[in-house]
Chain A
């Protein structure tokens, strides 16, 4: 049962435009969400997160939006740059039930390619 889904395995965007990566979840107990970026042959690195008490969190070119009623989150990258080409994973946590000390649930990833 895939509780966190990234339905687009790949996405291509022109440099300078907006990249929008989507993630859906099914478990209503999830209350904290994260995005990770992964280059080939490297470990994923943390990008940005959002708590369920918020609907938006911004960090430079990266903004994450959370729609709890739709159980949907998205990552916006503006403007997109060639160095943003990577695989992006969304992840979800249930801090209330897990006390924040157990496992994250990851999506399957979206490969973003920025076209120069």
Chain B
């Protein structure tokens, strides 16, 4: 069966520090991968998605970047965190071609101080 792993679960980082959040999927190949952010009291904002290795689509201009170095690995990064980067970050995957929807990871709570 397919599983998705996301880590760390919580992270407290100072302003100006770098960020690296990792997401891996098991049990499937060539998944579509997604990074979402849920800011406090708000909905799910799509940040990046990828339909293949090295293919990244950015939805919102921001202080973040994403990379997909391997088929089932998706990384969210920042060189210098801002206070506004605080939020709940979710990774998700979806199979190709008419899969019913996303499967989300358990999320990372990022607090920038």
Chain A: residues with CB nearer than 8 A to chain B?
Answer: 6, 34, 36, 41-46, 49, 89, 91, 93, 95, 99-104, 106-109
Chain B: residues with CB nearer than 8 A to chain A?
Answer: 6, 32, 34, 42-44, 46, 49, 51, 59, 88, 90, 92, 94, 96-107, 109
- Contact call A43/B107, Cβ cutoff below 8 A: yes
In angstroms, Cα B96 to Cα A75, docked, is: 27
In angstroms, Cα B32 to Cα A104, docked, is: 12
Closest to A6 in B: B43
If A101-B96, A102-B32, A102-B49 touch, whether A107 touches B43 (CB-CB below 8 Å) is: yes
- Contact call A44/B49, Cβ cutoff below 8 A: no
Min distance, Cβ A112 to any Cβ of chain B, angstroms: 15
- Contact call A41/B109, Cβ cutoff below 8 A: yes
- Contact call A95/B107, Cβ cutoff below 8 A: no
The A interface, classified by DSSP as helix, strand, loop or mixed, is loop
Collect the chain B residues with CB atoms within 8 Å of residue A102's CB: 32, 49, 51
If A89-B44, A109-B43 touch, whether A101 touches B94 (CB-CB below 8 Å) is: yes
Collect the chain B residues with CB atoms within 8 Å of residue A107's CB: 43
- Contact call A104/B51, Cβ cutoff below 8 A: no
In angstroms, Cα B59 to Cα A62, docked, is: 32
Collect the chain B residues with CB atoms within 8 Å of residue A36's CB: 101, 104
In angstroms, Cα B44 to Cα A6, docked, is: 12
In angstroms, Cα B82 to Cα A89, docked, is: 27
